[in-house]
Each structure stands twice: as C-alpha cells, then as structure tokens.
Structure 1
Amino acid sequence: MPKASEHKAGVLKLCKGLPVLIKYNQATECCVTNGAEAKVVDWISYYHPHTKMRTLKTLFVELQNPPTLIQLPGLPLNVVPISPESREVNCEVPDGSIIKINRSQIPVLPNFAMTDYCSQGRTRPFNVVHLNNCTSHQSYYTCLSRSATHEGTFILNGFNSSTITHSEGHALAGNIRQEFRELELLDEISRLKYETMLPQEVDGIVRRDIIAQFRKWKGQNHMPENMHESLRWTKRIPFQLSPCEDAQWKIVTGSNRKPRQEKTTFAVGHKNMSTYVPVQHNQRKCAPTVAIPDNPLLPSSKMHQRRSAESGDQDMTGLIWDSENYSCAYDSLFTLMWNIWKAEKDKTMDQRQMMNNAAFNTLINGFELHSHGELSLEGARDDVRTLLSQRNIQEFPLGAHGVDIKDLIHALFTCADDKSIGDEVTLCDNCGLHDARSISIKSVVYVFCKDNWQLSDMHELPSIIEEGTTEQCALLYFKSMRISAPCTACGHNLLVQKQFDNYPKVLVIHIGDQIMQISHIIKVESHAGPITYRVRGLIYYGSFHFTSTYVDEHNVMWYHDGIQTARRHERTGNMTNANNDTILRIRGRQLCTAIYVLA
C-alpha cells in the first residue's frame, strides 16, 4: 500500500498510457511538481549489475493540462523526463517494529482515483465520484465541486443525502448553517440593490456590517422567501451574527513602504536530461512555452544559423493543438487569421464591420487581447469554440472529435442576419417576364461545386474540373451565371446576376479534395474598376489532421502544424517559384482551402 511506504511505490508496474501522479518537486520550472498529473509515454531501463534485473532509469511522462506549456529539446510537447529519487522510508513490519530502508524509485504513483483531500484545487471536465465513504458536508462539497459542468459529473452507487443536511447524526453543523444563511441574505440584498429598492442606510462595505444593517431595516426574524426549511430560524432558535472585531489597517505611503526586493536571477545550467530556464508566469489564460537557452556547446554564429534555418528569423506565432478537445481545424484556420490580422489589420477590421459575425468578432477580440498580453491564442480559440459549440454541438463537438473545416469557415465568414455584402437576383434575360427573385449574399466563402462549374456559360471556364484554377472559382463567386432552371414564360434558362455593395476584404475558397491550379492572385472586375486578391493562407488535410501554410508579403511560405511545430513556423519555399504540385501537397497532406486577401 502507498501509505505503508510513505507514498513511495514499493513496486511500480508501468504501461504506456498509465495515468500517474507525480509525488516530488523534481523540476518546478518544468511543472514536474508534487501533485501534478501525467500519463506514461515511455521509459529507459538497464540491467542492474548486482540484481541482474532490469531497473528503471528514466521515466517519460506527458503532463496533463500543465499551467505552462513545456517544450524540451528532442521531446514532444509537455513530455518531460523523471529520474529516480533516493529516499529513506520507515517501514512497519508485522511485529510492529519500524525499520529504515534507503531506496531509489521514480516518484510517481498510479492515478486511477484520488481522495477528496488530494483532489482539492483541481477541475475535472469529467468527474466520477464515489460518495458513500464521505463522512461530512465538506467532503461532499469537495468531491462535487471538482466538476466543470453538471453534465460531466457521474455519481457512483448513489449517496446518503443526510450527510449533506446533517453532521454525524445531528442537524447541519452550525458554522455551515451560518454561512448558508448569510449567503441567502446577501443574495436578497444584491437583488434589492439591483432593483434600486434598498434604502440608503444599508450601505455596509463588508459582509457583517451590511447584513446587520439589512436585518435592522427588515427585522431580526425576516427570512428570504425561498430559503430552504433546514436554514430557517425562529424566535426560540434565533439567527445571530457571529461577533467580529474590525481589523486594524492603514494606507501604506511611500515613506513607510518596505523597499522592494530585487527579483532573483536564475543561472542557466544543466539538470538531468535537459537545459531550461524558469518561466515568468503571466496572468490567467496566457500560456507561454518554456524558454530553452542557447546550446552552450555551439558558437553563437552557428546557433544563429541553426535558428535561421529552422524558423527563418520571422515573427510569427501558431496555435498549439489541444489533445483533449481536438482542435486542428481551429488551429490551422486561426493561425492563418492571426498572422493575416497582424499584417492586414485594417482589412480584417473592415471585414469584421462588414459581416458583424459573432464568432469572427470574438476571434478578432481575442487577437486584440493577445496583442496586449492579456489572453493566449489558445484562449482566443477556445472562446470561439465555446460559442460555436453552444450554437451547434453536433457540428462543433468537444472532446476527441473532429470538425469539418467547411462548417468552420462558413460559421466564421457569414454575415449576421442584419448584414449582407450584396444581392443575388434570379431573372430571365430573354423575355423579362419571369418573376425576379432576390436573395442577400451573406457568405464570403466559395465552396467548389461540380454542378456550378459545368452549368456555367462563362466561356473562359474549362469543362474539365482538373484544369480549373482558384481564380476561376472566384469568378463563379463574383460573376453572373446561367442555371439549368427554365423561365416559366419562355423556357429559356434563367440567369443569376450578382450585385456587390461591398467587396469582401477576405475571400475563402474551399476546393475539398479536388486537384486544381492555385492562383497566386485573383483579378476581379468591380463596378469601381479592377480589384486584386492575393493568396495569404493555405489549409491542408490528411490522416485526420489539418495543417496550414501562411504566405507572407514576400510570397515566402511558412508551414505550421499545431502538433509537430507547436508555436513555430517552418519555411517551405517561395510561392513565386513553387510548382503547383508543391503547393497542392505538403508533408503527406492535400490542400483543401485557400484564403485570399484584398491587395
């Protein structure tokens, strides 16, 4: 039992994927801390010269939801090594005597379940609890309040409700009942304050004062209308506020303020299997990666050359994949939009105003917060994802489920109900007798459709799909086209005319799994003259995973994969001299979506 060996495993049985609980602060700057949760990825063992048995040397674990993203050289994201710790253990033998043993062991324990005490401070999206052994109201509260949602809470074997309403066979403990009563009164005070029905004399700034003033106004026997019967009081059993003395306090001025201590500076050095420096933690949602120092074994010039080869000395950031709520569709699109927003901020802001799309607005708001250091890119992503999931959980599920990139771009690039960018009018240009029908153009997404391609009477469009280009897709989006529906008066095929009040600043073309020529620029004739769009982003799909390529203002192509490259982008070539095959397929995945921005 772990308790018999002071929670240092006597025998540690491992398998890949085993959930474990780290029991020692081995590297706090890498989040390898006592109480951290992880799962086993791999290990290194060796033959011990004395026991002739395989002995564990290093255990590799993947941290689960660490406060800081960890990227060590040569290891996947959030994977860290744990080495054995030597500890003296007091062991109790059957006769009751204690012997001391000094032994070496990896400081982890299997983590299939934990006590209410150990679970404090944790939040569980899925919280399975066994309440039958809980002996107090506080224990019930601790177990149940670990849940992120009530849908994610599962109670095994039922529970005894009297444990919540009573304490050890008696009525609810006095201090808990007192707390609930005061909260009920504060709830009523807040409601009356909101409804401007609270008199001016009820103006206390601390809990005890404002409750005392409220009861003086309402009477000592007043109780909120919907208070539970177990919390009610009577004249015989009154409710009295606990006596409390105000704490002494004073405003600290510059003359009596203690001098600020200098921040501790950590020296960079080696520890076990990696080198790292401590991270300065930001507030709330920001999640920076651990900074890896320059390799002291490389000259500075060679280090600079290595960085240039890997990242091209570019200032671009990508989103990191969420392994719990699969996010590659969001990561690929939002990474492109973040870099486009930085380079073309005025145009993306115009697009925002043009569409007034709630999801698009939430994304741009997140980008603005991130640019001020107030929100991580992953936080911005999750805000949009939450909004879309609440709107349609089938199309935008959480957990280990994928999202159709077509659904995501439509959700992001469609105008609100009160907005449109133009009109699409269906009429007969032969006899003019057909009743014209007009609908608003709300989407800035063109989804490649074989029927539209073949039915178009635009002579410059090819009849063979594989010979088409994304520029010709854009022409189908912008220009009028003939459809197969006949006029009710003369039988001539109807014409769909498109009239744009505002040309979109960002245009998305989804070609699916079709093979076609990717146009570097798209030229469109508008009522004000020719306008040009330039390709700025490409999204790829393959092996159930989305990746992206950003095209900068110099036509340099930068590849991003939320799993493999994490925050980094890797240079893959130049759009100007790249052949179409190189653009259509990268690292085993095929192009499915192209994003163009008004030049």
Structure 2
Amino acid sequence: MRQVESTPEDDKLRAALANMRYAACTSEDLSFLRTRIAGLRPSDPRLDSHLFRNVAIITAWNSQKDVINRLGAKRFAEDTDQDLSVFYSIDRISSRSVDKSKWKRCEQSRCSRIGSKMRNKLWNAAPSSNSEHLPGKLLLCLGMPFLLRTNDATELCMTKGQESVVVGWDESIGPDGQRVLDTLFVHLENLPADRTVQIAGLPPNVVPLIRTTTHITVLMEDDTLLSVAREQVTGLLNFAITDYTAQGKSRPENPVDLTNCKDHKGYYVALSRATTAAGTIILQEFDESKVTCGATGYLRQELRELEVLDEITRLRYQGLLPREVTGVYRRQLLRAYARWTGSRPDPDHFHPAMRLRGEENTALADRSFDDYGEWAPSGTKSKKRDHEGIADNDGRPDRESRKRNKKTKHDVVGPHRFANSTQDTAEIPTGLVWDSINYSCGYDALFTILYNVWSQNPTRWTEHLRSTSRLMSHLSTQLAEVSREVLTFEDARDSMRSMLHTFNPNHFPYGTEGTSIDKIVCALFPTNRTHARGHRICNKCGYTEQEERHLFTQYLCAMPTVAQLAAHPEGVPISTWVQHHLGNASGRCPMCAINGVRSRLAMQYAISVLPSLVVVAVDHASLLYSRSLCFDVSGTMSILRLRGVIYGGGFHFTARYITDSGAVWFHDGMSTGRECILEGNLDNLSPAFLRNARGKPAINLVYAEAQ
C-alpha cells in the first residue's frame, strides 16, 4: 500500500493490512473492513459513484473477469452514446501440439479444419478458455479502457499489464468477411511522471498495437483441446483484472470482489493496491475466517526469516553487529544471529504473529553445525527443520507443523534392512510420501528411483549428478542431507520442487494441477548436451558428409520404425532401438546420385563419454524393456542397467525400483508411503511384467551405470 494520506481511516486500513499479511486480523480490523462494503445506506460506499466509474474491479477468477469486461463494454457504450465496434480474429488450425499445462486431463481434439460453426464457437468463447487469454472478438469504442497483454516494447512502456485508453484504429475485412483490426491506437495511462512516450506522427503517449499471430490452445465445449493460430491484437478490455495481474499496481480507486479469493494472500494483494481507505470499496460480503485463521508454518517461517535478515542488515549497516554473526548461506547466518541474541526478545517492529517466545528463541539458538554448514539439534539423533515444533502464540503447534509431524512420523529415512525374511541381506528401498495438498506423484516416482540408485554408492553418484546439471547437483546435496538425516526425504523433494517452480511456474505448479513427468526429466537432464557425434557416410563410394550430427542425449523417446516392427514381430527390444537410433541415417548419397546410382547413407558415430543416467520414454506397446544397454565407448564396452520404471495413468504416477540383483520393488506414495513393496526378481518374472503396474502403463525407463 503506497499511502498518500494519513487519515484515521487510512491508519485503520494500514493496520488491517499488516495483520492480514499473517492472517491475524482482529475484530477491530474486521469492523473497519465491513465499513468499506458497498451498500445502499447513506454511510455505505456506493459502487455507482463517479469515482469508481470505469475503474477495473479486482477479482479472483478469470471467468468472472471476462463477464465483467463484456458487461462493462456494453455499459460504457451506453454511457458515452456510442455504438460498439466488434472486431473478430482470424483463426486457423495450428500444427503445434496443444499445451496441456492448464488442462491436464483433456484430450486433443481431432478437428482438422475450422468450419463456420466451429469459427463462431471460437469467436464467442471467453478469453479465459484459451491458454493466452486472447479474445476471439473485441468490443471497442473510443475512450474505452484497454489492458496490454504482452511485452511489446519495454522501452516505450508497452509492457504486460499496462493500462491504456482506446483512441482509434485501422481495420480491414478478413478472409471470412468479418471486421478485423489491423492496428489499434491506445493512449498509455498512469505512466511515471518523468516519462513521456513519443512516436513520430502520433500524439504523446499514444502507441500502436498491431495484429499478430499467436499460437493458442483452446478448451472446447466437449472438453477437448484445439491448437489454433489466432491473428488478433493482443490485449483485453480493462473493466476487471485478476488479483494476480493487479500485483505491483497502486490504485487511488480500488474496487475489489473478495468472494473467490483463495486465502488471506489473495485478500491482501487485492486490498493493498489502494492508496487511500476512501478509495477502497468491497463489492460484497467476504469470508472473515480466511483472514483470521493464522498463517501456515511455512509462511510464518519465511516471513520471520525475512524480518530477521532485514534486522541483520540494519545492525550491520549501523556497525552494531559482532563479526561472528556471519554466514555464506541464509541458514548459517540466521543460526549465528540466533546464537548471538540468545533469549533476548525480538525487536519491537516485529509483528506479534512472527515473534518467538523466550524458550523458543533459546531452542533455536541451541544448535550445532555439521561439516556441510547445516544445523542439527545438539545431543539428539533425530534432526528436525527449523519450523517443526514451533508453536503459535497460543502455545499450540501451528496447522502446518501438526500436518507435517503426522506425515513424517517414521524416523527411518535411508534404506534399511528387511527383517524376518530369507533375504535378510537385502535393503528395502525408501520412497516418498505423496503430498495431497500440492500433488507430488511425478516428483515422488522419479526421485524415489534416483535416491535409491544414489544410496548404493553416494560418493560416486554425487560426482555423477554434479556433472549432469545444476539442478542435479542441488539434488545430490539434498540427498546427502537426507542420508545424514538432516532433512527428511520429503523436505529434499520440496526443495527441488521449489527450484523448479521458480524456474518455470507454469510447468511446475503447486496445488492440484499436477506436473508432467516429461517436463521434470527435461529440466533435470539437459537435452542440449550430446554424448555421441557422427557423420553420414556412403559405404559404396566413400562419400563423407562434412556436417557433424549430435545423436545421443540423456533423455530419449523410443518410437520403433515400421522396419523394426516387421523385423521383430514379438516386440522391439529397447537395446535394438537405441543402436538403430544411433546408427540410423536418412537420405541418399549425393555423389552416387550424380552417377545414376541409388545408395543410402549410413551413420558413423562415436560416443565420447557415456552418461551415468539415461531416461527412455516409452509410448509404444511393441517395445520390450531390455535389462541392460551396451555401448562401445572408445573401444571399451560400457553397460547401463535398468534401475527403474515410471508408470502413469489416471492423473497419477507410480514407480518400480530395480536393484543390482534384479529385485523389483513397487512404490506409490499415495498408498505405500515411504515403504516399497517387494514384487519378485526379474529372473523369475515374465518379460511383460514391467509393462504395467496396477493398471497403469509404463511411460519411462531409467537406466543407470552398472556397479
């Protein structure tokens, strides 16, 4: 909140927002917020006031935003006595694959052309029904508020979320006789005071938006996905925006609809956009429990650590911090600060919800560092993270801690011995407990396999993982902490997930959307690093192609050819497909063609360094899963053995881990938790056993360097 006044109402709003940040609003805060709900009484704020006319309403759902924008356009045309001009998009079937990041369970449409009926459906569909929120038709008139949707020219303030007003347009007739926009001219609003955009031939702060082609995925009425190339000006009407889009904006008039905000964070984002209390209006009643329930343990810890880091920075700047309060990493620095402060109270500016009681502060300071700079409780064997067991102000563990303690009740995190069995020397692999709040089955399946492979020889596999990628290097560090019981396996998974989410929030979301296992593998295993290079040659005339080809990455997609299927009617072994993949060369010899001879080129390749891990995507029923893959590396035979299989279906992933001796262990974080179930040995199982696991087909094979 960038407050521009300081009235008693503004002070109340600021206090309510400060408490709302921690979901700790008081009865006084709620009483004040109720006074800002729109109503018909003389003392109530009025939504029909001229102050809020044509100001975008902050709402939580895109579907609500689309309806408000449509109604707002009609109302604006009536208010200004103008006719609405409707401009349609130009839609074609796109050759690109559909984007399933938002609609995991939907299948791709089989539509191959857009007829008149389909075209009308695409035009009338809401912008939120496609992946890029690009409207099929724009309802415009002069003076209408408009929101830019793309970063067209940041140096000209033409950025995503920039507010503007329509001042004119150029139009033409589309291929289907519809009106289409060629160029839309808008006047940029709310620019910095010292900034003026001047384009030759246009008034100040007026910029052109041209029609461009954007590839979108559209959710159709039958819940199928259609890939469309849409030509349209990229933007939306600005009578409503979501709380996500509103982030970073300061608004003198701030109408908000809190009905469908997910939690107190959504409430905070929406209400904190206001610069004054008088400019705040809440459209209807809201759920008070969302701002009084208290923050989760994770959020409390994060916000408290940020406050402590701010305090450390202030003390260091003022020269009041002793030299021993230092650290390379955040945890080291916070621990050093906790040791220094001891049982002294937190600074006065800390919010009460973030403060620790004396005994809690002392407990945090009573820690010792291990060799890697991480902390461990002194004199105890079982190690917990900072936020576990920390109590709320009422003395009870917070909700998140109670949930985590229940989930992590088993103390053993590493592979342990299988007691009361004839295989008393075999180790039981360790799995991950499925996260029912932020679906984690994709991570559980892959990380269960990788951890148990790593645990067979931590020193060697740590070196292998660190040389694979930056993310895999971080994974090796996390696995080492799991092995030393500094972290739980779930903590390590969540740390990796956080890094991936930061890297790409759309591919690696939180919540119940789920994540594609292919995207996780592609992020961990660099697909731009090749381990085999080759040249195409002609065995008949000796021709050698000059262009070097890159052939072998750590993530392969196995798809047998027609010739392979004909040669192996009972199934194509993965090992056969890999060798064919490396040695296959399409095309004919150009030198032989000059002489009238038809000769096919062959691939002459060499593997420089064999990767220690290879993942093979299998999406064909005719593939046979080879137990090992053999490669000639500089004259030496190197072997990769099958160590895991990932299964997918019904919006869930499971895994099988295979030991060096061939023992097959099944894991499903939803049903087996940390345990893995022994199913037998590959020597005694049929070749088709690995194809399916409890109704789910195999989708990925994990091969690892032989011990």
Question: Higher relative contact order by CA 8 Å / sep ≥ 6: 1 or 2?
Answer: 2
Instruction: Give me the TM-score of the superposition, normalised by structure 2.
Output: 0.43
Per the normalisation by structure 1, the TM-score is 0.50
Higher Cα Rg: structure 1 or 2? 1
